[in-house]
Amino acid sequence: MIKIDPEKAVEIKPGVWWVGWPDFHAGFSNNPYLLIEGDEVVLFDPGSRLDEHWSWVKRKIESIIPLKKITMVIVHHQDPDLCGAIPLIEEALGVNNFEIVTTERTSLFIPYYGVHTEVTSVSDGESIEIGEEGRELLFLTTPYLHFPGAMVTYDTKEKILFSSDIFAGFSIDWSLYANEYYLEAMKVFSQPYLSDQRHVHNFLRKIKGLDIELICPQHGSIITKEKIPEAIDTLWNLEVGVWE
């Protein structure tokens, strides 16, 4: 198993870092990710604004690049564990000095956090190109997984799927990379959080043609290539929308 120091940012692919925090007690780790392509500095799902959370993320980002260099924040839905820290980023960078990218439905909620920066809305299948070589980030909507306006991002260069709450897990024995217990952790998270098997199947059909090397969820562990077929299979067959 790959050993990591959870105190430090971890480069999971060239130019892509995990800048999250582990939660060994409640099993609810949060995983913001930082991607740098030339002058573009993209932060995915920045996370909570609580000092005990944001201080981890900020420290880790600043171990790589000054916070002020962030050019884009991509949020996959409107939950506070993704968006709570956006006002703190705005405070540091200034209003409209960075781009916020999400779906139209989610964009309606971003101002509710006291954010004044304009939000760029993207729709299903839309992509943006970043950096001089035009690195493509592809956005796929994932309705009702778990919010009607949720989406995921696929990085075509490093073949990473930033999957937000899909493929996420609750686990007390957290590790950055999925271990032999992760499918169970994923089930425990997915059953109550993912709404309906129809939507899960639609999503899995949608990503079928993508060449994915790494799945990076917003909670739990990163799923490496050899474990992806099993994770997809588990999700496909799982009864979701269950709260017991």
Q: Which residues bind Fe ion (CB under 5 A)?
A: 79, 81, 165, 218
First to last CA, the chain: 33
Angle at 177 between CA 189 and CA 198, to 5 degrees: 35
Which residue number, 155 or 165, has a Cβ lying nearer to Fe ion?
165
Which residue number, 40 or 165, has a Cβ lying nearer to Fe ion?
165
How far, in Å, CA of 241 to CA of 235, rounded?
A: 12
Position of minimal CB gap to Fe ion: 79
Which residue number, 175 or 218, has a Cβ lying nearer to Fe ion?
218
Which residue number, 79 or 90, has a Cβ lying nearer to Fe ion?
79
How far, in Å, CA of 214 to CA of 223, rounded?
A: 6
How far, in Å, CA of 163 to CA of 153, rounded?
A: 7
CB-CB contact of 210 with 154 (8 Å): yes
Q: How far is the CB of 112 from Fe ion (least distance, A)?
A: 15
Q: How far is the CB of 79 from Fe ion (least distance, A)?
A: 4
Q: How far is the CB of 23 from Fe ion (least distance, A)?
A: 12
Which residue number, 131 or 192, has a Cβ lying nearer to Fe ion?
192
3-state secondary structure of 151: strand
Which residue number, 58 or 146, has a Cβ lying nearer to Fe ion?
146
Nearest to 52 by CA among 36, 83, 71, 30: 30
Q: How far is the CB of 215 from Fe ion (least distance, A)?
A: 15
Q: How far is the CB of 28 from Fe ion (least distance, A)?
A: 9
Q: Which residues contact 174 (CB under 8 A, 6 or more apart)?
A: 22, 23, 24, 27, 29, 220, 221
Which letter, b or e, does each residue of 153-169 get, where b requires 16 or more Cβ atoms within 10 Å of its Cβ?
Answer: bbbebbebbbbbbbbbb
Q: How far is the CB of 146 from Fe ion (least distance, A)?
A: 6
- Burial (CB < 10 A; 0-12, 13-18, 19+), residue 66, is exposed
